[in-house]
Structure 1
Amino acid sequence: MKVAVGSRNPAKIRSVETIVDSIGWEVEGVDVPSHVSPQPFSDDETRKGAYNRAKGCIALGYDIGIGLEGGVEETEEGLFLSNWGSLVTKEGQTYYASGAKILLPDEVSRSVRAGTELGDVMASFTDQQDISKKEGAVGVFSAGYVTRSDMFAHVVKLLVGQYHYDK
């Protein structure tokens, strides 16, 4: 089974590999567009980005496409970090899952609301480049208890579980 992750981000690819390795799926990261804004600002937009990435993998000829997208969601409590995933098969089956959410600190939220992508805010906040390819904001704000790969791995488990349930 040839599976593509709609991203070359190592954290996203790692999250898929750790889940599907035991079932023998070959995983490859590919560049496909999300067709949403660089910083998705709602669950709906984040979910659409994940779906578009998964669908883009299928268009490249893979058996299964997995799209993973991080975003933010405004609530009355503040701005939450969110994540969504979609698994699409070449036969057209589509599955969705969302994962953990965590409230972002006000100083980070202000910059994101002002139009700066969370990854850029986090680079400045932590003085580290490419944090979204490493532990991510969730890793920073959970003191390393949950990394970006961990957070997406949970979503991938839900996607693969739904896929296998239907078989």
Structure 2
Amino acid sequence: MKIIVGSKNPTKIKAVEHVFADEIVNSLSVPSKVSAQPFSDKETRDGAVNRALQCAESEEDVYGIGLEGGVMYVDNQLFLCNWGALVTPEKSIFTASGARVLLPKEIDDQLKRGVELGDIMDSYAEKNEVRNNEGAIGIFTNNLISRSAMFEHVVTLLRGQWEYWKVK
């Protein structure tokens, strides 16, 4: 079984490699075809599906996985959200979402001005490449959950659904 992850982000690749440790995992940089900063569950999910579809269509007999981070509002409060999609060679699509944490108001304000969360987090945390390391989830959970671990949970949900339905 060959899997292609629709990103060159090391946290996303690591998550897929961990969950599919016995499989061949490659990565391919593909566009999400949504906003650079997704602003809803739907847009974030669409980005993950778009990435997974492009990967599944890039070669014969491969599974595509797309992982997308975004933000979404609940009762006028901004939360981090994330989605994943797995597309089989037969083009069956499985999706799953993961952890959500409240983001500070000052981040909400910057996002509304068009700045991407990854760029905001570097300044906010006074670090470099937060998106390629612990991610916003790592910062706001005091490093109890890393971005890779968050996506690993989503990929585990994807694998579990796929395994369940392939035997049905």
TM-score interval w.r.t. the shorter chain?
Answer: over 0.9
TM-score of the pair, normalised by structure 1: 0.96
Query: What is the number of residues matched between the two proteins?
Result: 165
Amino acid at match of 2:122: A
Give 1:55's match in structure 2, choosing from 42, 53, 56: 53
Q: Counterpart in 2 of 1:6?
A: 6
CA distance, structure 2, for counterparts of residue 37 and residue 117 of structure 1: 10
CA distance, structure 1, for counterparts of residue 121 and residue 37 of structure 2: 13
Amino acid at match of 1:41: F
List gaps (5 residues or longer) in structure 2: none
Deviation at 1:34, TM superposition (A): 0.5
Is the counterpart of residue 15 in structure 1 residue 15 in structure 2?
yes
Is the counterpart of residue 152 in structure 1 residue 151 in structure 2?
yes
Deviation at 1:77, TM superposition (A): 4.7
Is the counterpart of residue 104 in structure 1 residue 118 in structure 2?
no
Amino acid at match of 2:105: D
Which stretches of structure 1, 4 residues or longer, exceed 6 Å deviation after superposition? Answer: none
**CA RMSD of superposed structures (Å):** 0.9
Q: Secondary structure of 2:20's match?
A: helix
Residues 119-158 of structure 1: pairs in structure 2 closer than 5 A? 119-158=118-157
CA distance, structure 1, for counterparts of residue 107 and residue 15 of structure 2: 25
CA distance, structure 2, for counterparts of residue 165 and residue 75 of structure 1: 31
Q: Counterpart in 2 of 1:30?
A: 28
List gaps (5 residues or longer) in structure 1: none
CA distance, structure 1, for counterparts of residue 57 and residue 95 of structure 2: 18
**Higher mean displacement: 125-134 or 91-100:** 125-134
CA distance, structure 1, for counterparts of residue 11 and residue 165 of structure 2: 27
Q: Counterpart in 1 of 2:42?
A: 44
Identical columns (%):
50
CA distance, structure 1, for counterparts of residue 82 and residue 112 of structure 2: 17
Deviation at 1:128, TM superposition (A): 1.7
